[in-house]
Every structure is written in C-alpha cells, then in structure tokens.
Structure 1
Amino acid sequence: VCKEWNAIATPLLYQNIVIGRGRQLPNISTILEVSHQTTDGFFSVGRWTKRLDIALRDSSRPVNEELAIIADIVRCLPNLEIVTFSVSSPQYSDDDTSPCLVLRALESTCASSLKYIHWFRDTLVPDPESLATLFRNSPNLRSFYTPLVPGVEECDDEFFHASLTTIHAEARILSYASPIPPHLMNLPSLRQMSFVVPLFGADPRWRSFLERHGSRLQRIQALIYPAGSHFQPDLAHIAASCHNLLRLDLAFSHWTHMPFPVTLPPTVEHLGIFCAQGQIANYQTFFSRLDRIEYGAKLRCIQFLGKRNVRDIFDKHLHQFWFGTRRLRGSGVRFMNHRGICIA
C-alpha cells in the first residue's frame, strides 16, 4: 500500500515547490539531491516539479550561501516550467545582490522547458545582460515579468525573442525603469500584454513599443489605480495601433475606480472586468459608468472575472445589475460570469 501510495502521490507532492524561509533550504536541497543521486536522475522526485516559487521572507545564513543552495535545488529540477521570485527578506535589499548563480543553474538545467519567469519584487532582479542571456537560452519562454528597478544601466542591443507571447509593462518613474528598454524589444510572437495605467501617454519608449507590436496584440489587460482619468489617452494609443485587438480586461481595486469616460477600441469583442474589492453596499456609481461606455459594433460580451464579484452582484444586487445594464443588453451585449458561462 505504501509503495502504491508513494507512486501516486509523489508527482503531486513535488509538482510545486515554495521556498518561504531560509531555514527550509538545506532540507529541500538534501531531499532532492539524495533522490537525484540514488536514481541517477531518471526517477528522482525533482523531475515532477513544474513550478518553483522563491519567496524568501527571512534568511538563516549569508546571501551568497543561500543563493548557492537555491542553485543546487534548481539543478535537481530538469522539467521546470514556471519560476517566480518574490523575495522580501531584508538581507536581499542590497542593490548589489545578484541572482547569477540561480540563472546559470536555470540555463544549464531547464532552459528548454522554461515557459514563465516572473519577478514580483525589485529584489534579485538580474542586470539586462544576464536577462538577455537567459532568454536567448530559453527557446520556449512564453511570459516574463520584471518590476521597475533603480539605477538600470541602459543597453543598446536589440532584445529579440521568437516565442515570447506575453509581457507586462510599467512606465518609467524617475530613476526606476524596466531592465530591458521597451523600444529595443522585438517580439514577433507577442499576443498579450498587461500594463499599469498610465503607460503609453506617459512613457514614449512604451509608445514606440506599441507602435511596433500593436498589430500583433489580441488581448490587453489594464491595471487601473484611482487616477482613472489617465486611462483614456492610453486607450487612444491602443485604438490607433492595435487593429487586431479582440479582448480588453480592466482591473481595479475599488468599484468606484471604474474609469469614465471610456471609449473602447472599435475592434474589441470581449470586455473583462475584475475588482479586487469583493463586495460593496451600492453599485450605482459602477453601473452608471459602465452604462455610459462607448463601444464599437463588434462588442459581444462583458465578463465579470472575479468569483467574489459575481457572487456579490448576482446574489445581493441583482436588481441594480438588471437596471444598470439595460442599454447594453438591449444592444445585444451578453454578460458572462468568471467561468465564461452566459448569465444575461
């Protein structure tokens, strides 16, 4: 029974490894290395791992030692597809701390299987040259995300990647910028993009990027903060460059942050709406703004992307929904829940 259970459970237990504390590193490394050595790598538990989340909140040893252990862990994971960095440990706040050891381990072990690599904090973000090397050696990469980082050294080389389909963008703020200059990117397979508003009206480098890649984009997600008035200039740039855009998703933190006025690009068929706020006492402001959006003849559906959003609106505020969407529904626009099921 134990052998059968082990055979069934092992692929699931090791599918996703999360490193949250520095003291966990030696144990994880030992388990993976022993399994790798005793099975010659063919039946090691590390071969089942598809995702590695490096989310250190504290450290128990010097940074260089921890990074060396993380690199050893990576070398035991030959089929990694997703790697994320979200390191908040104070020890890693030094700008000189480099993840080169980890990047080299990724390149030598799982570059061919790597599909997603995301940095969610401005710690352990590599320099542009190291990033470019990693991407050149990762032919199947689909998506990457890096935050703005301070003191980025400008590079002049074009950044080309044939398979990258998804990218995230934020406008330069003072000395904070993207490690890879957007106007130097050449991404022939790009199809999706997310960005923080404002972008194209605030950063000419990203405007140049949009002019170069806009015709390839089919889906765009806009992350909107309270200053939603900056969104319309971005939409104007999108409408001018993205002639094949089919889907636009709007994400905001509060229902009243729904931007107004909004004129959707005429090619948009699908509008997605997500709000981090799960519920609200009154949706009048939101539906009033939604009712007054200007849209093209191709708009077919509006989808609420958050499960909590759907539950609150349709369980507690159904009357406001029916009243606030009567014009849109009357023109043939369908409404869908987070699962893609038509609800109105």
Structure 2
Amino acid sequence: MTLAISNDSTACNLPCFPPELWITIFNLATDIPGLLSYDGPTPFDLPRPLVKEHEHRLLKESLITKRNIILVCKTWHTLAINILYRSVLVTRPATLSSLLVALGRRSSGAARSVHVGWWTRRLDVLIHDDRCEAPDYALLANIIRQFPNLSTVNLSMPMLPDNDSWLRQLPESVIMALAESCGSSLRVFDCSESILRPCREDLMKLIAAAKNLSVLRCPICSPSARDRSPSARLDMPVMTKLQSLSLMSVFLRDYLPDDRNANHFPALRKLTYDCIPPPFLDHTWKRFMRLSCANVTTVHLDYSLQAECLQKELDLLGECCLSLNDLVVYIRSWTEINLNLTLPPSVSYLGLHSKLRKAPAFHFKQLFAALRTISGLELKIVRLLHADAVEDLRANHWALLESELADSSCITFRIEDNEGHCLMT
C-alpha cells in the first residue's frame, strides 16, 4: 500500500486484489464444513430433527453473510454470485416464483454460458405453510431442473389441499425432476421429516438414477394404487455406494428386493431405525439385518417400547451386526434403561439421548444404576448426548452426580457429557 499526503487532503491508493483472493476470502467467510460439500455419513449422533435444526440455522447465517457480500459493490456481486447459489434454502411457497426467475440468470466471469443453478450443491425445502398448492410443487419441480449438480436434497413438505390424509404422496413431478436432472450427482436424499413422501415406485426410479447415492433417509413411502399390483412393482436396485440408510422395520417391505436372500446394500455402514417391529415381521426384519447389516459399524436406534424389550433389540444387533462399533439409543426417559443390560460384544461407544429436557432425581438414579450394571466386552465410552439434560444434571443434581460416581470401581468405561468431556469436570 502507498500513501500520498498533500496539504489539502489525504489520498490512499489501495492495491488491486486478484479476484482469486477475493473468492477465497468469500469462501472462508461463508463456508459451513460438511454441509455444502458432501464427503460421507454425518458424524452427528443427535436425533435427526435436532441435527437438521442446527444445520438450517447455520445455512441461514451463511446466507445472510452471502447476501451482505454481494450488496457491497458490483465487483463483489460478480465474484460472489456463484457462492450465493451454492446452497438454496426455501421456507415459503411465495418465494418459489422469484427463485425460478433468478435461476434463469446467467453466471458471470469465466462461466458466463451457464446458469447460476449450475453451482448449486445443496437444496433444503422446509415449507410448513398448510396452504401450499399444487402449482407450488410444479414450480419446485422446475426449480430442481435448474440444478444439474445437486448432491444434497432435504425435503419437508406440507399436505396438498386435495391430498388423501393416508396417501400423503409427494408429487411425481418433483421426484422425476430429481432423477432426470441430478440423479448422477445426488449423494444425499432426505425426506424423513416430510408429511409428503414419494410412493415406492417413484422412490425406486429415483435411486435407480442415483447410482452414487450415499445417504438415503426415506423410512416411509406413501402407498399408491400401483403398489398393489405385483406386475407393476419395480425391483429394489443394488445400491453399491449407499453407506447410510434410515428405516422403519414395519415398512421394511418397501426396501426388500424380489430375491429376499440377496444383499442390495453391500456398502452399508450406518443404520438408523425406529424400534417398532410387529411380531409378524420379526423373521423378515431379522433376515434383512443378517444379510445387509453384517458390516454395519454404526447403529442409531430410536427406541419407544417398554424398557424390558430393549435387551431383545440389543441381542438382535449383537447377532446380526458383527462389526458394530458405535451404538446410539434415543429413549423417552432414563427410566427405559434397565439394569444388567448386555451390549453387543463389539460395541466400544454408546451414546444415550433422553428426550426429556429436565428429569427428576430418580430418573438419574435409574440411569447410573443401569450404567453400573451394564455389560459390554469392548465398551470404552458412554456419552450423554442431550445438552439440556447434561446441564440439568450438573445444575440441579450435582450432589447426586457426585454420590453416584464416587465409587466408580465397577465402571470400566468413561462417562462423557454431550461435548465429549468427562461428566464430572
């Protein structure tokens, strides 16, 4: 920098920054590691709704920074417009029309010949407006067709006005837009929190086109008339790249191939499922787990049955998931952790999440009594995942915590808080 001083004024001649440096600065200022470029299964152990809430808060904050950057001057607008559209967040149907118009604009700079949608890698559609109409979904399908390089798609969609409350089918146009426009680039598809979801046949078309899909969270498919016709049933594709899958055992049939003895998930390493297996599906669920989950290393189990049934689930995992290392269990309260539980022998990390933000003292007594009697050959760490529960324990039950852990000779593993620190610190 050079500074020229005169009697009347002070002039400052700033150096000309290379555009590449500005772009690097913009990337650093707006980047959200792990959200805008997908590299593998998410490391978060919290329940998916809480993870998504955290992700969307970060996306909104990043979007505010991006908008501020492009409003500084024309040069910054030109340099940062591609960064602005790297992730797209839709929360209101009213914005769909203006978004589609904006996506029709051409990029500037070296890539002037492409639309700004070419740069988009992540799409989150979180619409909670009950007045979402059929034309809104047509607009959404057209918007998706502007994104040929999407890698992550999260959908949470409201009911259509004339949609059957049981069918709750996501319009086929939205799913086919994904399959035809960005199937080859898609790595994550998540509609686990959506009221509307694809029917099985539409989902099969999508994942058949998404050969590189790594994470699939669609535990419930919407039923459709085509599902009742065996001749119209598409076979489950072999998903050679799929590493993470979310299921509900009661809806397992949607993911079963025609050959029930075949493993169509050879790369599966992470399984998330709700523990609601009805007796008539026990055998099918067990066979699926034995075939497809032998190499699974991480299981997230959303448990909502009676406490005495939890050991049955642990035994099933121990029998079928021979490579299981990380086990995370979501429960309604600490009282669902019974005494003398036996973990799968290969588990070294156990994450526990109680859905109660605050619990009475006897709940924590039940928890620590269970931890003193739990059995796990390789167990090294037990982590309490709910930040509010940890804060409540430390703030309101510290004397109980000290007394329960005063004699830890029978505990051979480390008990951690939600951030991975020793619980007593």
Q: CA deviation at 1:204?
A: 2.6
The answer to whether the Cα contact below 8 Å between 1:198 and 1:234 also exists between their aligned partners in 2 is no
Secondary structure of residue in 1 paired with 2:190:
strand
After superposition, what is the alpha-carbon deviation per residue over 1:46-91, rounded to whole angstroms, capped at 9, x for unaligned? Answer: 344332223333366741x222211111122233222122222342
Distance 1:84 1:57 in 2: 14
- Kindly indicate whether residue 380 of structure 2 is the aligned counterpart of residue 300 of structure 1: yes
SS in 2 for 1:53: strand
Counterpart of 1:25 in structure 2: which amino acid? L
Asked if 2 retains the 8 angstrom alpha-carbon contact of 1:23 and 1:60, the reply is no
Most deviating of 283-292 and 51-60: 51-60
Q: Secondary structure at the residue paired with 1:91?
A: coil
Residue 178 of structure 1 deviates from its aligned partner by 5.3
Aligned mate of 1:246, from 325, 340, 346: 325
Q: C-alpha displacement at 1:124, in angstroms?
A: 3.9
TM-score, length basis structure 1? 0.84
- Equivalent residue letter for 1:271: L
Q: Deviations over 1:218-251 (max 9, x none)?
A: 1111111152332221211111121111111011
Specify the alignment match of 1:80 in structure 2: 150
**1: distance between equivalents of 2:352 and 2:133?**
44
**Which of 54, 69, 73 matches 2:139?**
69
Which residue is equivalent to 1:30?
Answer: 101
RMSD: 3.2
Q: Indicate whether 1:289 and 2:370 are aligned.
A: yes
The 1:62–1:197 alpha-carbon spacing in structure 2 relative to 1, beyond 3 Å, is closer
Deviation at 1:310, TM superposition (A): 3.0
Q: Which amino acid aligns with 2:96?
A: L
CA distance in structure 1 between the aligned counterparts of 2:175 and 2:111, rounded to whole angstroms: 23
Counterpart residue number, 2:304 = 225
Question: Over residues 72-117 of structure 1, what are the superposed CA-to-partner deviations in whole Å (9 max), with x where a residue is unaligned?
Answer: 1112223322212222234263338553222222123222221111
Structure 1 residue matching 2:177: 3-state secondary structure: helix
Matches within 5 A, 1:309-328: 309-325=389-405
Task: Report matched runs for 1:187-226 at 5 Å.
Answer: 187-199=265-277, 203-226=282-305
3-state DSSP class of the match of 2:255? coil
The verdict on how the C-alpha distance between 1:6 and 1:38 changes in structure 2, with shifts beyond 3 A counting, is closer
Give matches, 1:1-344, under 5 Å: 1-6=72-77, 10=81, 13-35=84-106, 44-58=115-129, 62-63=133-134, 65-91=135-161, 93-94=163-164, 95=167, 97-120=169-192, 123-149=195-221, 151=223, 153=227, 155=233, 157-172=235-250, 179-181=254-256, 183=260, 186-199=264-277, 203-282=282-361, 283-296=364-377, 298-325=378-405, 330-343=410-423
1:321, distance to aligned residue in structure 2 (A): 2.9
CA distance in 2, matches of 1:322, 1:178: 48
Three-state SS of the structure 2 residue aligned to 1:215 is coil
Could you say what secondary structure the match of 2:412 adopts?
coil
Paired residues, number: 339
Give the secondary-structure state (helix, strand or coil) at the position aligned to 2:382. strand
Q: CA deviation at 1:123?
A: 4.5
Question: Greater CA deviation, 137-146 or 194-203?
Answer: 194-203
User: In the aligned structure 2, how far is the partner of 1:123 from the partner of 1:246?
Assistant: 33
Matched residue of 1:203: which SS? helix
Is the Cα contact below 8 Å between 1:198 and 1:231 reproduced in 2? no
Shift of 1:143: 1.2
> How many angstroms apart in 2 are the aligned matches of 1:91 and 1:36?
37
How far is 1:163 from its partner? 0.4
Distance 1:9 1:36, change over 3 A: closer
Identify if the C-alpha distance between structure 1 residues 89 and 160 changes in structure 2 by more than 3 Å, giving closer, same or farther.
Answer: same
Pair member with larger Rg: 2
Query: TM-score, normalized by length of structure 2?
Result: 0.69
Q: 1:59 to 1:299 in 2, by over 3 A?
A: closer
Q: How much does 1:42 deviate?
A: 5.4
2: CA distance, partners of 1:82 / 1:238? 29
Cα deviation, 1:117-159, whole Å, max 9, x if unaligned, reads 1222575433333222211221221111224346462647343
| 2:123 alignment partner AA | L
* In 1, Cα distance between equivalents of 2:409 and 2:106: 59
Structure 2: any 5+ residue segments left out of the alignment? 1-71
| CA contact 1:122–1:147 (8 Å) conserved in 2 | no
| Residues 61, 223 of structure 1: alpha-carbon distance in 2 compared, 3 angstrom cutoff | closer
- Do 2:216 and 2:245's aligned partners in 1 also have CA atoms closer than 8 Å? yes
Deviation readout 1:4-32 (Å, 9 max, x if unpaired):
54367645644443333322221121111
